[in-house]
Structure 1
């Protein structure tokens, strides 16, 4: 496997630079890039949000974690659990739905995280080989693709500022 031991092959995607449509496209593009290396994936399916989903996303969610007939309000949050030995139709459903999940991720056989999507596409990170990085930046603005070390520093600074502003009463 091409992964390095350090995390210099991991990138965050700064979705604040993207429109909602671009966020969805970015999530799906990332999943297509890592597909050859994926052994398993998982996601949640928050069915309460379905009224805001496009029809193809509702259909994909039904493939991944069907909503029980006559589900009570307490029974609308579903989890796929680990999905392994999947066919291309199931992967296509995951790729379609993942940008709408609260949490979705894809892993290698030896449990290396390849892609992590959260907060309905607001947070996105990916582990890529150097040759796939150019494929990523062909569809996502280069400025939005941030190396992991820099991404971690940026997020730590954001949280520090947020905590300081709350503690100072601002």
Structure 2
């Protein structure tokens, strides 16, 4: 599904077509005691390496981003609440350069989004509190991370609601 929003907007593709971005369905095991949420195992075909894991909470309508890691692959899963993840490919020479991808994440559609180095990443909270896990391939290095204001002019994404 492709949509275009705003003056500077580029096509938004919710199907996962930015080169190198993968969406992997994850397993949940619910029972009367609670739910196990699998995320990433060393034996998974898509596992690269372990650098660090962290969890970040985000409140409704707050945007975290934009940031771009030059070396690390991100492995995102939203284990509580819901988020709208937005990705922008600004990699020179990439076959999807200039593309934007959206992914809605949460326990009801539980998945791992694998984001290669060089992709601009941001997400917006859609519930009162949401919790996102990231199992990155490298420890965070602020020197190797670029940041932009999530509402900066000229960045081709609108965080508002699109009525489809």
Superposed pair shares fold, TM > 0.5: no
TM-score, with structure 2 as normaliser:
0.27
User: TM-score, normalization: structure 1?
Assistant: 0.27
Normalized per residue, the structure richer in strand is 2
Please identify the structure whose Cα radius of gyration is greater.
Answer: 1
Which structure shows the bigger proportion of residues in helix conformation?
1
